[in-house]
Amino acid sequence: MKVTISLIKADVGGYPGHATVHPRLIERAEEVLLHAVESGLLKDYHVTGVGDDLQLIMTHTKGVDSEEIHALAWDAFTKATEVAKDLKLYGAGQDLLKDAFSGNIRGMGPGIAEMEIEERKSEPIVAFMMDKTEPGAFNLPIFRMFADPFNTAGLVIDPNMSDGFRFEIWDIMEHKKVIMKTPEELYEILALIGAKSRFVIKRVYPSEKHPKIPADEPVAVVSTEKLYQIAGEYVGKDDPVALVRAQGGLPALGEVLEPFAFPHLVSGWMRGSHNGPIMPVGVKDAKCTRFDGPPRVVALGFQLARGRLVGPVDLFADAAFDEARRKALEIANYMRRHGPFEPHRLPLEDMEYTTLPKVMEKIRGRFQDL
Ligand code: F6R
Ligand code: MG
Ligand code: MG
């Protein structure tokens, strides 16, 4: 049976400031999606909040980029925005950058990760949701899951995986994409995705020789929307999400989670202008408090059952990630001590997309030739 999983998110108002999603926004979105299950449009859904982002996890049989599904998500965000406006939440409707829905939610502000798959005999899937960072924050963990034998033992000891994976990498400045293959092109892939503000992993596919998964079915997908490109000005970071399938010839659940035991540095955090560690947390700790962060990542695990979402299990709400959280806080302290200095503050090229140019404008006229 073919099933599509759509994870669509937007910041339609924070509470307080940019810290969390108000429970009434979640309730409002749930009402809209419940109605869609009753009408037969959706198979199932789960709504949650990560930082200030409202997250809609939906299953259906309409395929990716379905106008009906995108319109439904837009409707849920619009109705949640009405609640946000009534409660005067911060930045109500912030990520809805267009006034009216026009066929596809792409390019309208929300972030989207979708995949259509043939549901396997057993289909474990993880929804990853990050706040206060950008799509390139997924490069390192997704690479580790599918290409690093020091992370994923299955690459070494499960023959189903020995032919590797194919990575679809997007150049988000030039609007081009390239498919590259592991293990043959490991070094070239790293040459690109190490530059995470420009080259981002969009999808991972199995190798053409994978014995269990069809070559055209993604095994991972990441949202790559860049808000400043859509809005033409800084409206917060892009706060990416991803879907990753696990087990049975793919990385095991534990191999999918393992990269997050290392709280790597990502850009975002306060005013979308700082490098800091990404901290794996459970949903209850997904609130961006300290210096509007530090950036967070939540992982919700499900089993699909004929399109039904069995779960979630809040995977980082576990003692096994305590050490990563402690390390993240230690790194956060260290980075914060730099105040407004690089490399805590982002390099100037990246600051171009924040409010800094307005500050520069004020002093421009006072510069004299040397
Ligand atoms: C980061 C983020 C926040 C805001 C900050 C200032 O993505 O959204 O850190 O940039 O709270 O917000 P304003 O300028 O709205 O007061
Ligand atoms: Mg916000
Ligand atoms: Mg956010």
Contacts of 29 (CB under 8 A, 6+ apart): 47, 54, 56, 76, 77, 79, 80
Interval 288-340: pLDDT, tens? 999 999 999 999 999 999 999 999 999 999 999 999 999 999 999 999 999 99
Ion ligand 3, residues whose Cβ is below 5 A away: 11, 51-53, 131, 239
pLDDT of 99 reads 83
User: In this model, does residue 5 exceed pLDDT 80?
Assistant: yes
Q: What is the dihedral of CA 342, 131, 258, 151, to 10 degrees?
A: -50
Please work out whether the CB of residue 92 comes within 6 Å of at least one atom of ligand 1. Answer: no
- Lookup result for tokens 């404008």: 361
Confidence of residue 169 (pLDDT cuts 50, 70, 90): very high
Please work out whether the CB of residue 17 comes within 6 Å of at least one atom of ligand 1. Answer: yes
Region 123-147: what's the mean pLDDT?
Answer: 98
- DSSP per residue over 57-123, as a string? EEEESS-TT-HHHHHHHHHHHHHHHHHHHHTT-BTTTTT--SSS--S--TTSS-EEEEEEEE--SSE
C-alpha R_g of the chain: 20
Give the H/E segment covering residue 268: strand 265-268
Q: Kindly state the tokens that stand for 74.
A: 């837009």
Q: How far apart are CA 241 and CA 234, in angstroms?
A: 19
pLDDT of 230 reads 73
Nearest atom of ligand 1 to the alpha carbon of 52: 8
Interval 14-67: pLDDT, tens? 999 999 999 999 999 999 999 999 999 999 999 999 999 999 999 999 999 999
Please work out whether the CB of residue 272 comes within 6 Å of at least one atom of ligand 1. Answer: yes
pLDDT of 173 reads 85
pLDDT of 232 reads 73
Instruction: Rank 104-108, 253-257, 359-363 by mean pLDDT and report only the highest.
Output: 253-257
Q: Give Cα separations from 159 to 65, 163, 252, 302, 360 (angstroms).
A: 34, 8, 14, 26, 56
At position 347, the amino acid (one-letter code) is P
pLDDT of 234 reads 67
Active site residue 45: no
Give the distance (Å) from ligand 2 centre to CA of residue 257.
26
- By most ligand atoms within 8 Å of CB, the mutation choice from 269, 270, 287 for ligand 1 is 270
Interval 206-260: pLDDT, tens? 999 999 999 999 999 999 987 777 777 767 678 999 999 999 999 999 999 999 9
Active site residue 205: no
Please work out whether the CB of residue 343 comes within 6 Å of at least one atom of ligand 1. Answer: no
Kindly state the percentage of the chain with pLDDT values over 70: 99
Give the distance (Å) from ligand 1 centre to CA of residue 353.
13
Active site residue 228: no
Give the distance (Å) from ligand 1 centre to CA of residue 369.
35
Contact at 8 Å (CB) between 199 and 169?
yes
Confidence of residue 349 (pLDDT cuts 50, 70, 90): confident
Confidence of residue 284 (pLDDT cuts 50, 70, 90): very high
Q: Whose Cα sits closest to atom 10 in ligand 1?
A: 271
Give the distance (Å) from ligand 1 centre to CA of residue 15.
12
Catalytic residue among 11, 44, 239, 314: 11
Q: How far apart are CA 267 and CA 273, in angstroms?
A: 7
Q: Whose Cα sits closest to atom 14 in ligand 1?
A: 271
Helices (H) and strands (E) in the chain, counts: 10, 15
- Chain mean pLDDT for the chain: 96
Q: How far apart are CA 259 and CA 143, in angstroms?
A: 9
pLDDT of 54 reads 98
